[in-house]
Amino acid sequence: MAINKLALIRYKTIDDCLKNRYKKWTLEDLIEKVSETLYELEGITSGVSKRTIQADIQLMRSDKLGYNAPIIVKDKRFYVYEDTSYSITKAPINNADVDKMKEIVGVLKQFNAFNYFDEMSDMIARLENNLYKSTHEGGNYIQLESNNQLKGMEYIPKLYQAILNKSALLIEYKSFKAQQSQNAIYYPYLLKEYRNRWFLIVKAKKGGSLLNLALDRIIEFQELPNETFVVHEGIDFERYYSDLIGVTKNSNDRPHKVILEFDNRNAPYVITKPLHHTQELVAEKEKTTVFRIDVVLNYELEREILGFGECVKVLGPKILAQRIKRRIAGAANLYEKEEKSKGEQQTLAL
């Protein structure tokens, strides 16, 4: 069965509503929400009829689209998913969809022969592997880095649309340091991924600097159509984030010449997988190799360096070397305390 774009929008909107267990959804509520979404995404002002939504629900319940959605009516009024974990986005795709997706992957693979599509290689490999799994029994032939426990990934499509449409957002956010979540108005500018974790780059209505909101710390959000969007002038985000590892940066931060000395056992790893695109080989010694990268000094850089443990030494700048030294000393102190505590317990036992 062919499905047009507007029908897909309606099914997805109904699905989003029924996944929200904190609200009771009447048929009228669903009609209103679908009408709002069609207006926001497609500019349709005529809304949607009661008959259309009823037909959509029946179709979602059936196996015609492969959804078999467990939609029931409670108290003769409220529509809910009987299985609280259900979503049409988790439903298996049908053979027609698989064939169409194979065609698309085939076209993408042809485009990937051109240099300006090089970045698509990883995405194409993921698509091809997932398609193979859907039509063949057996395990993966490509294992790509992923985190199935990561929260907030479902927000990406709507946040992306908010950025494109220049829509202000009311976001409820709870940082790791906060005792309670906070609601504030933000202007979204960019979605950025770092090591399988996604961040929304924003500016708060009450504040002038750019902020990073981790998607897994967003409780919920909604667009504010009546709030004037404030464009962040004077920043090319490609250049803005080109001089750092990770996402943490203030507008006043400037790159430093970071000099790192690796033992020759680990130097080949750094050569074949550079820490940053500015990486240069400075010197090759008998036991060590020295590299330079020009990056902002931030938390992610420190984590990258600490990840090499005793195999790397920071030669400069001095402030970074001191930070790493303090953190290594702090880590060592944890083990020294543990050894001291064990020694005291053994003494008492004697």
Mean local confidence (pLDDT), 274-299: 96
Strand order in the sheet with 197-204: 210-214, 197-204, 182-194, 169-173, 218-223
Side-chain-facing half-sphere of 231: CA atoms under 13 Å: 7
pLDDT higher than threshold 80 for residue 117: no
Q: Residue 4, class by beta-carbon neighbours within 10 Å (0-12 exposed, 13-18 middle, 19+ buried)? A: exposed
Mean local confidence (pLDDT), 224-237: 89
Strand runs labelled E in the chain: 71-74, 78-81, 169-173, 182-194, 197-204, 210-214, 218-223, 256-263, 280-284, 288-295, 312-316
Of 7-16, 126-135, 326-335, the poorest mean pLDDT is in 126-135
Q: Give the per-residue pLDDT at 1.
A: 43
Q: Give the per-residue pLDDT at 223.
A: 92
Between CA 101 and CA 96 the distance in angstroms is 9
For residues 253 and 296, the answer to whether their CB atoms sit within 8 Å is yes
Q: What is the mean pLDDT of the chain?
A: 86
* pTM score of the predicted model: 0.63
Q: Give the per-residue pLDDT at 306.
A: 96
DSSP annotation of 298 reads -
Domains and CATH numbers, the chain: 5-90 (1.10.10), 95-135 (no CATH), 153-240 (2.30.30), 256-329 (3.30.70)
For residues 181 and 172, the answer to whether their CB atoms sit within 8 Å is yes
pLDDT digits (tens, 9 = 90+) for 34-44: 999 998 888 88
For residues 170 and 221, the answer to whether their CB atoms sit within 8 Å is yes
Of 128-132, 179-183, 289-293, 301-305, the poorest mean pLDDT is in 128-132
For residues 17 and 30, the answer to whether their CB atoms sit within 8 Å is yes
Q: Give the per-residue pLDDT at 235.
A: 82
Of all residues in the chain, what percent carry a pLDDT higher than 90? Answer: 55
pLDDT digits (tens, 9 = 90+) for 325-338: 999 999 999 988 77
Q: Give the per-residue pLDDT at 147.
A: 66
Q: Give the per-residue pLDDT at 275.
A: 96
Q: Give the per-residue pLDDT at 42.
A: 85
Q: Give the per-residue pLDDT at 116.
A: 53
DSSP for 133-164, please give it: HHHS-S--S------TT-SSGGGHHHHHHHHH
Phi, psi (rounded to 5 degrees) for 340 = -65, -40
Return all residues near 198 (Cβ < 8 A) that are at least 6 apart: 152, 153, 156, 191, 192, 214, 215, 216
Q: Which two tokens stand for residue 189?
A: 């500018």
For residues 280 and 314, the answer to whether their CB atoms sit within 8 Å is no
Confidence band of 305 (pLDDT split at 50, 70, 90): very high
Of all residues in the chain, what percent carry a pLDDT higher than 70? Answer: 80
pLDDT higher than threshold 90 for residue 311: yes
Of 134 and 318, the one with more pLDDT: 318
Of 53-57, 93-97, 178-182, 254-258, the poorest mean pLDDT is in 93-97
pLDDT higher than threshold 90 for residue 234: no
- The stretches of 191-309 forming alpha helices (DSSP H) are 237-240, 267-272, 299-306
